[in-house]
Amino acid sequence: MSENFGSPGQIQPLSVGNVVSAAVRLYRSHLKDYFLLALKAYVWVLVPVYGWAKFYALSALISRLAFGELVNQPESISSGERYVNSRLWQFLVTMLLMLLISIGIGLGVVVLFVLFGFLSAFVGLGQQGNPATSILIIIFTIVVSIVAVVAVFWLLTRFYLVDVPLAIEDNINGVSTISRSWELTQGHVWRILSISFVAFLITIPAQIALQIISTVIQVIFLPLINENSTIFSPILIVLILAFSFSTGAIILPFWQAIKAVIYYDMRSRREGLGLQLRDRKI
């Protein structure tokens, strides 16, 4: 695939297919390196706070490396890791801020539905036995639910790239990377959601296969646990944990590659970087 970009006024967005295709090529051509980085990131999850920041930073590192490939400036893993490690605590700040934002969004939805519930109950008590009122309340409930879900997805998509600028751009910190994501995704929420949906469909077969393997492991160990739970229960827990980490390490690089291509696309069009996807298979 090859896309040429000229001046900002002539830049056209990559199609959904082009974004996903580029991410797949990146994923396939660097599968081993990206998988090992993702696996390392998941292992760090076991360490509270510091390990969570490491997970976030190593995940973003995959996007940084993928972006370097897209702009024909490949970087060694060690060099990229040194860069993200120098911003480790900024990643922690971003992670905590995003947690607070997510909690805020969740509370907002809860408050909305509580208020709507009180309003519906008040109207219903005043119109008992009126079928038209009941139907109207049901329709309004469905509409409010759909609007709430769409609003949540819209908001979360505006924060889709928060980890990427922090891993790539200079003069960005744990706070400004959030506003940077908001800036880059402006006007492109529905396209990013479309890309995410297509990417999700691609991962379904892998997730199904991995889930089947996990189920088989548990079925095999279940009789053994019934015979001697003291020995085999810890073994099963370790196996499930290792398999879960491996499963995540298989899927995470693909999503980070998707982020890298979207970030590349947003920057190249918004800022006229004059970048070019390489003709050769990346």
Percent of the chain whose pLDDT exceeds 70: 84
Q: Which two tokens stand for residue 8?
A: 């900002």
Distance of alpha carbon 180 from alpha carbon 278, whole angstroms: 26
Is 41 domain-assigned? yes
Rounded Cα distance between 255 and 246, Å, is: 15
Which pLDDT belongs to residue 128?
Answer: 58
Domain-embedded: residue 281:
no
Reported as half-sphere exposure (CB side, CA atoms, 13 A), residue 272 has a value of 5
Residue 5 resides in a domain: no
Distance CA 35, CA 20 (A): 18
Looking at the domain assignment, is residue 7 inside a domain? no
User: 13-39, pLDDT tens digit by residue?
Assistant: 678 889 999 999 999 999 999 999 999
Taking the C-alpha atoms of residue 2 and residue 281, their distance in angstroms, rounded to an integer, is 10
Handedness of CA 230, 232, 235, 236 (dihedral sign): negative
DSSP string, 99-153: HHHHHHHHHHHHHHHHHHHHHHHHHHHHTTT-HHHHHHHHHHHHHHHHHHHHHHH
The answer to whether residue 51 sits within a structural domain is yes
| Inside any domain, residue 276 | no
In a domain, 3, yes or no: no
| pLDDT tens-digit map of 141-192 | 788 888 888 999 999 999 999 999 999 998 899 999 999 999 999 989 999 9
Torsion of CA 205, 210, 211, 216, to 10 degrees: 130
User: In this predicted structure, what is the pLDDT of residue 130?
Assistant: 63
171: which DSSP letter? S
Instruction: In whole angstroms, give the CA distance from residue 218 to residue 208.
Output: 15
Q: Report DSSP letters for 228-262, one per residue.
A: -HHHHHHHHHHHHHHHHHHHHHHHHHHHHHHHHHH
Task: Output the average pLDDT for the chain.
Answer: 84
Confirm whether 34 is domain-assigned.
Answer: yes
* Tens of pLDDT, residues 107-150: 988 888 888 777 766 665 555 556 776 777 778 778 888 888 89
Contact 44, 58 (CB under 8 A): yes
For residue 65, the model assigns a pLDDT of 96
Number of structural domains in the chain: 1
Please give the share of the chain, as a percent, with pLDDT higher than 90: 56
Residues, the chain = 282
Range of the domain at 118: 12-270
